[in-house]
Chains A and B, each alone.
Chain A
Amino acid sequence: MFLKSVHIENYNQFENLELDLTYPEGHAKAGEPLEKICIIGDNGTGKTTILELIRDYYNYVWENPEEWKLPDLEKYANSSISFNNLDKPERFDFWRDSAGAKIIYFPTGIDVEELFSKVGNYESNSSEEEQYINRVNKERELDHKLDLTESLFVYNLKNTQVLIIWERLKSKIRPSIEEELSYRRSLLKGLNEQNEAELDDIYNKFKAYKKKNPNGYDDLAEFLNPLLNKFHLKLNTKINLDKFDEIEFLSLIDKDGNIIPIEKWSTGIRQLIYTVLPLYALKPKTGIIMIDEAENSLYPSTQRSIIDFYKSVCPDMQLIIATHSPILASSFEPWEVIELKFNEKGKVERKPYFKGENHVDNYHIRPMYLQWDSLFMKMFGLENDSNEVRNDMLMELAILKRDLKNSNGKDKKELQEKYEKLAEQLDWATL
């Protein structure tokens, strides 16, 4: 299920917003729903509102599955469906694939600290029996909260503790750990520790086994490490598999192998784990992922790769993000970008990036072709490509250059030094 179009009439800042969310003419996938969408726009243009409307509408449909009739949803427009604070119902058209439908929503304004707050508070000293009961109870809780096997469901990350996700992931990883432990035990059975050749043989066998059968935790490390490396961290794989159930949460180490306790994780790491871990744990196959303010707490170099990373985690899901980041926007094709703008009447509309027919050849803005300052100015409404002080200093530089050209006297060297120093401060490459 992918979102194909959105129509909002007379709601808040929207008067008659029509969003065609399909590939344009001339594209190999013309007419099909976009695989990724980026919503940008000034504060108050309704980026979050659109995500929430999709979520709420979808919840409604889920709660009334008998009403789910595609593609004709016209009746909702004139029915008495109650949306959140809506005077008039909005209508969304969905394109549904055979595998069913799901939405995973990462809202903004989440207290990431709070989501991580219970990590480390587990009763690790409880008896084995108590641990088992705890685990069963947790899994029941998880089944209730996280079951995505239903055909229609909105999974809102707002109220979900990251710890619950971790427990879910552990339950998925556990069989592979048990398998590895069992293989290890079978290898070590009847081992003569004095026989070095036998020890080498066992070591090589185990190495070959690991290469062929990485356990779930190894897979997780392989998945997370490229991203963690950007923060100069990696997943600690030196764990005691015999006590796998007691692992409270992900353990991260720095380049020297020092464990970084969770309370010392940066907000950026927490933010990333908040989005990436559920996607990895749940491995959703179809449907929509919506992330509000997807750039939150991420350094520009991480922002550059995050969209590709999300797509690599869930390649068959439709990714919809709202952002204020030109770097994130530069990961999208122009037909995938929805720039919301206030018109003269104070209503919000979509700024078209094409002239004439909606055809790939008619797009005059290509985010991937632009430098960051051009993105700011062409898509993010910034009037200037720099601070005004730079502009004033460029004028000073032009005056110095003119004086330098006109000077034949002893002040020429001094002028040259001044000119080159200022040019360096202004960045020669950009002059």
Chain B
Amino acid sequence: MRKIDKSILFSTVYKTWLEDLKANNKLHPSYDTYRKYYNDVKFELLRCQLGLCAYTEIELCEEDILTAENWTNGKYDFDKEATQASGHIEHFDPKLKPKKGWLWTNLFMVDNHINTPVKGTQEVDDIMKPDADDYDPKDRLEFDSELNKYIPSANKTPEEQERIKKMVKVLGLNYGHISRKRKSFIKTLKERIETDTFKPEAYEGEPFPTALAFILSEKNID
């Protein structure tokens, strides 16, 4: 799970609306019924996340629908037929959803199967919030590339390790179908390294960048 920079670049109408709500101390309209900025939020999030699930890093859409040309006058040009993206908008802290359903810092785009059956409304811990100022995957996590599992970093205190371990489960970082896809990715990557056919540029914008970074570090490849 990478650190995500969530600076809003293109969905500026939504950004202004949100700032106005905050400045005037207004309640957010219901997330479930108010859909005015849904696509602006969804595709801005996907852009920040480079088309990948915020937590598990599996692919949700192609990056070509996330370039500046897809926004006009601060709104995303949504085309039902042409715009193909999977995933759900997810509220990191579910307790904020009723009153601050459109709070930018609480939203992430997440794989459908992680959002509902896995994470759901479980309690969260900011120690594993991907856009938190102090979040750094190498500080929080280690990756066992043979067992294909993220575990808490040994450098954290036992209490912190327990908190991280709990969040690894909540966010589905090692969940079944994710692990399965990642296993194929790791296998291919290691084969390429072994056969000297690994090309870093082939992995730009690809799924599982954090696993990739851990494995390259393990193999002492820059």
Is B106 an interface position by the 8 A CB rule?
Answer: no
Is A196 an interface position by the 8 A CB rule?
Answer: no
Stretch with Cβ within 8 A of A (4 or more), from B33-41, B126-134, B167-175: B167-175
Stretch with Cβ within 8 A of A (4 or more), from B91-99, B141-149, B207-215: B141-149
Are A384 and B176 also in contact (CB < 8 A) when A395-B165, A402-B144 are?
yes
Chain B interface residue count, CB cutoff 8 Å, equals 20
Closest chain-B Cβ to A412's Cβ sits at a distance in Å of: 15
Are A377 and B165 also in contact (CB < 8 A) when A395-B151, A402-B142, A431-B146 are?
no
Is B113 an interface position by the 8 A CB rule?
Answer: yes
Are A401 and B147 also in contact (CB < 8 A) when A377-B180, A395-B165, A406-B154 are?
yes
- With CB as the reference atom, state the residue of chain B lying closest to A403: B154
> Whole-angstrom distance between the alpha carbons of A391 and B165 in the complex?
13
Is A385 an interface position by the 8 A CB rule?
Answer: yes
- With CB as the reference atom, state the residue of chain A lying closest to B165: A395
Closest chain-A Cβ to B180's Cβ sits at a distance in Å of: 6
> Whole-angstrom distance between the alpha carbons of A395 and B150 in the complex?
7
Chain A interface residue count, CB cutoff 8 Å, equals 18
Closest chain-B Cβ to A42's Cβ sits at a distance in Å of: 15
CB-based contact A383/B151 at 8 Å: no
CB-based contact B168/A395 at 8 Å: yes
Instruction: Give which listed residue, A377, A384, A398, A431, contacts B151 with CB less than 8 A.
Output: A398
CB-based contact A391/B176 at 8 Å: yes
Is B177 an interface position by the 8 A CB rule?
Answer: yes
Q: Which residues of B contact A394 (CB under 8 A)?
A: 147-149, 174
Instruction: Give which listed residue, A377, A386, A395, A406, contacts B149 with CB less than 8 A.
Output: A395
Q: Which residues of A contact B168 (CB under 8 A)?
A: 395
Q: Mark A199-226, 1 if CB is under 8 A from B, else 0.
A: 0000000000000000000000000000
> Whole-angstrom distance between the alpha carbons of A121 and B180 in the complex?
56
Is B70 an interface position by the 8 A CB rule?
Answer: no
Closest chain-B Cβ to A103's Cβ sits at a distance in Å of: 39
> Whole-angstrom distance between the alpha carbons of A91 and B175 in the complex?
44
Q: Which of A298-350 contact B (CB under 8 A)?
A: none
CB-based contact A395/B174 at 8 Å: yes
> Whole-angstrom distance between the alpha carbons of A398 and B177 in the complex?
19
Q: Which residues of B contact A397 (CB under 8 A)?
A: 147, 149
CB-based contact A385/B174 at 8 Å: no
Q: Which residues of A are in contact with B by a Cβ distance under 8 Å?
A: 377, 383-386, 388, 391-392, 394-395, 397-399, 401-403, 406, 431
